[in-house]
Every structure is written in C-alpha cells, then in structure tokens.
Amino acid sequence: MRIKVLLAAASLLTLTACATTPTAATTRESTPYTLATDQPLTPEQQAMRFDKADLTIRVIPADKAIDVVAVLDFTAKAPLEALVVDLDTLLTISSVQIDGVEVAVDRWSNPQGRLTVQLAQTLPAGQSVVLRVAYAGQPRVAPRAPWDGGFVWSAAPSGEPWIATAVQGEGCDIFWPCIDSPHGEPGRVDLHITVPSELSAPSNGRFLGKVDHGDGWTTWNWTAKSPNTYAIALNVGPYEEVAGEYRSRFGNTIPMAYWHLKSDTPEQVQALFAQFPKMLDFFEATVGPYPFGDEKMGVVETPHLGMEHQTINAYGNGYKIDGRGYDWLLQHEFAHEWFGNQLTNQNADDMWLHEGLGSYMQPLYARWLLGDRYMQRELANQREGLINAFPVVSGAPKTEDEVYKGDVGPGLDIYNKGSLISHSLRMLIGDAAFHEAVTRLVYGRPDPRPGNFAPLYRSTGDFLDIVNAVTGQDYGWFFRGYLNNAALPVLTQTREGGMLRLAWTTGDGGAFPMSLEVEIDGVVQTVAMTGGRGRVAVPANAHVLIDPQNKVLRQMDVIDELQAYKAAQKPK
C-alpha cells in the first residue's frame, strides 16, 4: 500500500519513510515493465486459469537475497501455445520445466520481465500444465516502502534481521512469477519460507507447521486461498505471537494472531491486540462476515508503515495514540480484507471501491466507538484534503500509477473523496439501503454467511446497478455528478422577496437533483431539487442554514479559502 496508508488525514502526507529504508541511490532498478502493474493481460494469460502457486523461498538476510523454486499450475481455457507470466529480470532464472521436463533455453525468454515459455505442443482447452521456475538473486530494494516498494532489509531494535515485502504499486513479479494483474489471482498459494532458525516467518493464510532442518535454517509453511496477487507477503524477524479467538455473530470462530517484535512493550502489544475483536465485530455488523474466517485475522509488525496483505496485514504505526480511540492504520488495512481482497476492482479505474469505501469505514467506526462528534471530525478532516483535479473514475482502463499519482490521476481523492461520496450516498438512500448495497457489492448476495460466497471482481458500474436495484431508482446522476467529474457540484443561493432559490451546477452541466435540508430559524425542512433547482419561502429576518448536518458533498468557499491559504504558506 504505497499511497493507501495516507488516507486518514491530509497531515499524513508529512510522514517519512523508516530510518532503515534504503535510499533511491542504492536501488538496483527493475525494468519499467516490471515496475508497472495492472497492465492488459496477454492473449496467453487470458487463456490460462491460474489454479495454484507453490512457492519455496529461502530468504538469505546476510546477502539480501532470495533463492526460489516456484511451481505454478494452470488450466487452459482455450488452446495454448505458450505460458506467459511476469518475473523481475533482477532475479536470475536457472531452470524452467514443463510437467517435469527441462525446457531448452532457446524455448523460453524473459525480456523486460515478461517470462514466455513455449510449449512442446498445443495444450487443448480443459487440460492442465505445471510450470516450474527456479531462480535466485537480490530482489529490488524498496526505495521508500510502502509508497515505492520492494524488499525492506532492516534490523530490529534487538539487532536481528527484520525483513518485509511491500509491492502493491509494483506488483507480485518483484519476487515471484505471477500474472501481475488483479485478474491474475491464483486459486491457492502454498508458501514454504525458509529463514534462519532464530527468526520467524509469518505469512498469508493458514499455518501448516514449521520444520527445523537442524542446520540453522527453519521452513515455515502456509496455505492461502484466492489471494490478491500483491498481497502475498514475506515477513521475517524476531517475532513473538499473541493469539486468540473471536466468536463471530455469524456462528463461526475466527483465529486472531499478531506477530510483534520481541522488544515491544507488553502493554502496547496487548492494547493493540485488544482492538482486534472490536474491529471484527464492527466490520461484520457493518458489511458482513469476515471473508477469511477459516484462515485467520493476522497482523505482523513491519519496518514500513503498512499494507493490506491478505490475512497478514502489515502494521508499522508504532502504537501511536492520536485521540481517535483506535489505531487508524490497523483499522484501514483491515478494511481491505473486504474492500480489496474479498472485493477486487475490475480495473485500477475502479480503485475507489477499495480506497473510498475502505476509508469511509473509519468515520463509521469512530461513530461505532464514540458517537457522532467523532465521525464528523473524521469526515471534516477528509473534506479538507480534497484535490478535485481529476475525476475519481475516468470511465477508461487505467494502470495503478495513472490512478494513484496525483499529477496524472485522482491520487488521494480515491480515499477522501471516495469516503465523502459514500457518506453522501448513505445520507441520500438511507442506512438500510446503503448497507444492503454494500453487502451485495462485496459478496454478490444480500445474505452472506461463512461458506456461501467467494472473492469476486467489481466495477463502479456494478455498484451503480446494485444501488439502483436496491432502491428501485436510477442514481446514475449521483455517480456521474460525483465520480465522473473532477469538480464538486456547486450550489448557488439567491435570496430575495421572501424566497430562497437554490440551483446545482456540475462539472459537465448534467442534471443533479440532489435534495437539500434547509434549516430556517431552527426548523429543518427538505427542499426538492427537481432538475437541479428548488426554492423555499424564507421570512425576511430568518436565519438560514443549508445542509445543517453536512450530508451533501459540495463545493464550499470556506474550504477553498483554507486550501488557498495553506498553499500560500508553503513557500514561507
């Protein structure tokens, strides 16, 4: 989560990388192809179903290197002449095999990091094939994890190696051969992570035990179902585990585990771990069942700030207390188990479904814990951070860089603006309809229960269709007005002759019939805005307050003035 972790407030933009993170000057650079992610699939990749990845990875801290054997199972959906996966050219391939037979070096190539292996004969649709790739080397070092990712080779306060991966912006091909796309999720990934025996290696999914080889090395074994490709994570360090169980409102029992550095203060560890069941209860009540309850709710302390690694979320917030009543980083990363790992965007252009809905869970959680005042504070902080330079959703396929980088795409607006749009939608259609729409979006059904759903892909259009089906109305105007326009809707007010006249203007001039609450001398009434216009009678000396509960996201002079003032202060 390079930019993902910045969502909580605009002030977080001042966060710096960990002191142990290498500088860009020391980085051995990958190819531009490898550093990009969410690019179009090749015809071969479209014709392959990725059934399973079995990754045997030795992490060698002394050399900042890895030695890997990857065994990948595919089934042809259409006749296949070649297998195509992605793997960084910084890693040297020593062997390529198909179904146990070595492939001659002139039958495979890895230019720019796209590994193409020619098959001896056409693989018919419906038949399976096993690709084995052995490789080793020093993987890309993260210049500034998690924003600019790769491997973080660090040292714990007690002196032992402390290692993590964070590759959301660059993709899984930084260290394992994968289909570097949201649509490249394998059905299962088995991990066999070998590390020095004094260290631990918590990872994704269920723990299958460890094997001490008696030579100073120990292998940790894990298995994870349908993992998000960039969510596969290596975490190596002098960890201790705190474990427990959560009894879900849906009848199942969910394992909880937190791997923390052995040097941490026990009181801080226990205080953070005590937040786990509270967050589980909130998300299960607000969205639905924890999607990976048969594996675990897992968190691991990392030498970078954080990332939503499925069932092993990275946590590097240092147990900070900021008056929220909860750890914002832990809560945000955990939100991605629903918005990102269970629900995965069809394309990066739909990334606000991850980040916006995930970010909205923070104001809602603040209310769950402490009441409306704390929810409104979170929403107000998000409102001050809006940029409004690019639409949240362009309507055209995008790469992650084209979305996350604010100089070419919406950037932080997919977080803050996405959250505020979600709030306005909930205020418009009501709690019950919003809850049902989000639940249908995430699970594909209104009645999710453990075992009756699977991870799925969603687009912004899917969400609109669901909202329309749930409400029985067409909210295309809402999605277009907020998501497809960079500028916020502008409300014009004219008061004369005992009448207050209101009019909406959107960036594209389209209709925007968003009704408004108007408080007149303490009495609130709703003004219909048919065709984007409305009016209400107002006594001459009456005090008028538009949208007293701040339900509707709109352009506001006070925010524009604040942002202009802050911009002017920067050179000083």
CA 48 vs CA 79, 85, 234, 249: distances in Å: 9, 10, 26, 38
Tokens of 277: 């069941």
CB 236 within 8 A of CB 61: yes
Q: Is 332 annotated as a binding residue?
A: yes
167: its two tokens: 């590759």
Spell out a b/e string for 278-288, using b for 16 or more CB atoms within 10 Å of the CB, else e. bbbebbbebbb
Q: Please enumerate, as own/partner, the contacts of 437-443 that have beta carbons within 8 Å and a separation of 24 or more.
A: 437/463, 437/466, 437/467, 437/470, 437/471, 438/287, 438/357, 439/287, 439/288, 440/466, 440/469, 440/470, 441/343, 441/353, 441/466, 442/287, 442/288, 442/338, 442/339, 442/342, 442/343, 443/288, 443/342
Query: How does DSSP classify residue 141?
Result: B
CB 139 within 8 A of CB 88: yes
Q: Could you identify the residue written with the tokens 């604040």?
A: 562
* Tokens linked to 43: 């015809």
Task: Establish whether 336 is an annotated binding residue.
Answer: yes
Distance CA 300, CA 302 (A): 6
Distance CA 413, CA 385 (A): 8
Please classify residue 121 by burial: count the beta carbons closer than 10 Å to its beta carbon, then call 0-12 exposed, 13-18 middle and 19+ buried: exposed
Q: Are 164 and 234 in contact (CB under 8 A)?
A: yes
What are the helix (H) ranges across 287-351? 328-335
How far is residue 333's CA from residue 338's CA, in Å, rounded to a whole number?
Answer: 10
Beta strands in 419-476 (DSSP E): 456-458
543 carries a ligand binding annotation? no
The string over 460-469, giving b where at least 16 C-beta atoms fall within 10 Å of a residue's C-beta and e elsewhere, is bebbbebbee
- Name residues whose C-beta falls within 8 Å of residue 52's C-beta, 6 or more positions apart in sequence: 72, 73, 186, 187, 188, 189, 190
DSSP string covering 122-136, please?
EE-TT-EEEEEEEEE
First to last CA, the chain: 32
Q: Give the H/E segment covering residue 120.
A: strand 114-123
Annotated binding site for Zn(2+): 332, 336, 355
Annotated binding site: 332, 336, 355
